Amino acid sequence: MKILFAVLAYALGALPTGYIVFRLSEKKDVRGYGSGNTGATNIMRLKGWKLAVPVVIADILKGFLPAFLAVKVFGDHRLALAAAFLAIVGHCYPVYIGFRGGKGVATTVGAFAGVAPIPFIIAATVFLLAVALTRFVSLGSMLAAASFPVAVFLTGGRQDTMVWGGAVAILIAVRHRENIRRLLTGRERKLGEKAA
């Protein structure tokens, strides 16, 4: 039953919310526009907040629900970590559309909140401060992900949660490798800048 739950967590995470919303709105594949990703940030740049908000809410829930339900139904923290990670992987590499998805940030937000609320609040604060100071969502996302395992350690959290958080931070960094290149060369778009 737990294995099935983990598989379903991936299947839920793999639902390409941004792809579906953009397809319904424009009859086109969002991966051919802007950053080429299916996440809410690209939807916001292409279509504005009206379409981005439901995408980000859905993507957050994709990460939160597997973690929350694993604890509530099975009482198993390690299953919650595995299911949340698989949901994030599903968002990044969705089976339904050829394994080309988003960067996993919103789904990670939900996963962090479901797994360890206090470290999540700390990581969210890091994100808000970084974006407020630089207007780079990508930089804020990577710094927040990296700060989560540190916050788990500083708040006396579980060691498996800290290791899991480190794995998630690595995945987020890998998914943002193009953003890292653009940040280093001064070509990264700031929050509020429209995509072509």
pLDDT at 150 over 80: yes
How much is the pLDDT for 45?
Answer: 86
Distance CA 40, CA 184 (A): 23
- Max Cα-Cα span within the chain: 49
pLDDT in tens, 84-132: 999 999 999 999 999 999 999 999 999 999 999 999 999 999 999 999 9
Could you give the angle at the alpha carbon of 138 between the alpha carbons of 89 and 17, nearest 5°?
A: 45
**Residue-range domain boundaries for the chain:** 2-185
How much is the pLDDT for 194?
Answer: 61
Q: Are 134 and 110 in contact (CB under 8 A)?
A: no
- H/E stretch holding 158 reads none
Chain-centre distance for alpha carbon 143: 13
How much is the pLDDT for 98?
Answer: 96
Output the CA torsion sign for 138, 143, 145, 146: positive
Nearest to 18 by CA among 32, 6, 7: 32
Distance CA 38, CA 154 (A): 34
Could you give the angle at the alpha carbon of 65 between the alpha carbons of 63 and 69, nearest 5°?
A: 135
How much is the pLDDT for 70?
Answer: 97
Q: Are 84 and 68 in contact (CB under 8 A)?
A: no
Tokens of 88: 């994030």
- Mean pLDDT over each residue of the chain, to the nearest integer: 95
pLDDT at 167 over 80: yes
Distance CA 137, CA 179 (A): 10
pLDDT at 196 over 60: no
How much is the pLDDT for 191?
Answer: 80
pLDDT at 41 over 90: no
pLDDT in tens, 182-195: 999 999 988 866 65
> What percent of the chain is predicted at pLDDT more than 90?
91
Output the CA torsion sign for 67, 69, 72, 78: negative
Distance CA 52, CA 151 (A): 29
Q: What's the predicted TM-score (pTM) here?
A: 0.94
